[in-house]
């Protein structure tokens, strides 16, 4: 079965045709439980997110700040497995018809088996994978199987990336380019900063892929700010924090749906 890279491409193109950025939400699988995580992903998509990244919880998430680390710890203590991540993708995609990617560090995929992981992610209806710690020069095996199964390979670029390095990364990627707005880990911040706009400009000079900005966006005003210059706005920690702060799982899901609606207004310039 082929994955949903075409759905991802079409979704990002449709947002551009509407004259706006896409809203991409991030939520870890298995948090607060597997079933609760599925409901949260569906709520983000129903509330206004165009795309969701489902995080594969990892014990050493080098890109993730304390909020997402806390959620990952809860998921791992609950016994979340790759099968649960794939189930989250399958059920949320079937319920909403929207593109869903997995964001994962390389080690779990490598241990699971690249061929097995790509085949099962495609069968679940996934659109692709974001692999923040997989070097482009070591990604050939992954990209071969991802392409065979109709999955996007999204690489991360950073403000420190030189122009020639940006060109190397974007040439190997598909779906979109994840532009980290600043050096550091995920988390909410007071401002996203000028570094992100400069990185988007330099990245666009190397590729026709959409360039989507993450790290630090947490409210509609920031989403509107980033939407002025990026093809997509990626929000993770703010969604997770809403769930962590909620008194129970149902309230957490409702809070995710509400935040998605607020941010969807932001990417449309209505913050």
| 89-130 confidence digits (pLDDT tens) | 999 999 999 999 999 999 999 999 999 999 999 999 999 999
First to last CA, the chain: 40
Q: Which of 64, 72, 84, 197 is catalytic?
A: 64
Q: Which of 9, 39, 53, 120 is catalytic?
A: 53
In whole angstroms, what is the distance from residue 148 CA to residue 2 CA? 8
pLDDT at res. 63:
66
Q: Is 73 exposed, middle or buried (0-12, 13-18, 19+ CB in 10 A)?
A: middle
Is residue 53 flagged as an active site residue? yes
- Residue-wise pLDDT tens digits, 37-47: 999 999 999 99
Contacts of 233 (CB under 8 A, 6+ apart): 21, 22, 23, 24, 212, 213, 214, 217, 223, 226, 227, 263, 266, 267
- Residue-wise pLDDT tens digits, 53-76: 999 998 876 666 789 999 999 999
What tokens appear for 30 in the block? 């298995």
- Residue-wise pLDDT tens digits, 191-222: 556 788 999 999 999 999 999 999 778 899 99
Structure-token match 């947490």, residue found:
218
pTM of the model: 0.94
* Percent share of the chain, pLDDT over 70: 93
pLDDT at res. 60:
73
Q: What is the DSSP string of 162-195?
A: -HHHHHHHHHH--S-EEEESSSS-S---S---HH
**Secondary structure class of 209 (helix, strand, coil):** coil
Beta bridge pairs of residue 102: 54, 129
Is residue 163 flagged as an active site residue? no
pLDDT at res. 213:
95
**Secondary structure class of 97 (helix, strand, coil):** coil
Q: 185: pLDDT confidence band, cut at 50, 70 and 90? A: very low
**Secondary structure class of 216 (helix, strand, coil):** coil
């Amino acid at each position: 079965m082929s994955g949903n890279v075409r759905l991802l491409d079409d979704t990002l193109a449709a947002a551009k045709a509407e004259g706006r950025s896409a809203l991409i939400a991030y939520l870890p699988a298995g948090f607060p439980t597997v079933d609760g995580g599925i409901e949260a992903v569906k709520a983000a998509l129903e509330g206004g997110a165009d795309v969701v990244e489902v995080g594969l919880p990892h014990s050493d998430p080098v890109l993730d700040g304390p909020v997402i680390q806390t959620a990952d710890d809860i998921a791992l203590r609950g016994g979340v497995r790759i099968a649960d991540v794939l189930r989250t993708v399958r059920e949320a995609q079937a319920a909403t018809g929207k593109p869903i990617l997995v964001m994962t560090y390389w080690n779990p995929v490598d241990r699971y088996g690249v061929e097995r992981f790509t085949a099962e992610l495609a069968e679940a209806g996934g659109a692709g994978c974001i692999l923040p710690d997989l070097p482009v020069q070591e990604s050939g095996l992954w990209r071969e199987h991802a392409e065979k199964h109709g999955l996007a390979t999204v690489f991360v670029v950073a403000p420190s990336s030189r122009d020639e390095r940006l060109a190397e990364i974007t040439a190997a990627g598909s779906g979109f380019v994840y532009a980290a707005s600043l050096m550091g880990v995920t988390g909410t911040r007071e401002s996203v900063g000028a570094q992100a706009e400069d990185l988007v400009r330099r990245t666009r000079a190397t590729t026709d892929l959409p360039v989507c900005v993450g790290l630090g966006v947490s409210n509609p005003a920031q989403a509107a700010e980033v939407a002025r210059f990026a093809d997509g706005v990626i929000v993770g920690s703010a969604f997770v924090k809403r769930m962590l702060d909620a008194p129970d799982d149902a309230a957490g899901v409702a809070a995710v749906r509400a935040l998605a609606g607020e941010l969807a207004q932001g990417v449309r310039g209505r913050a």
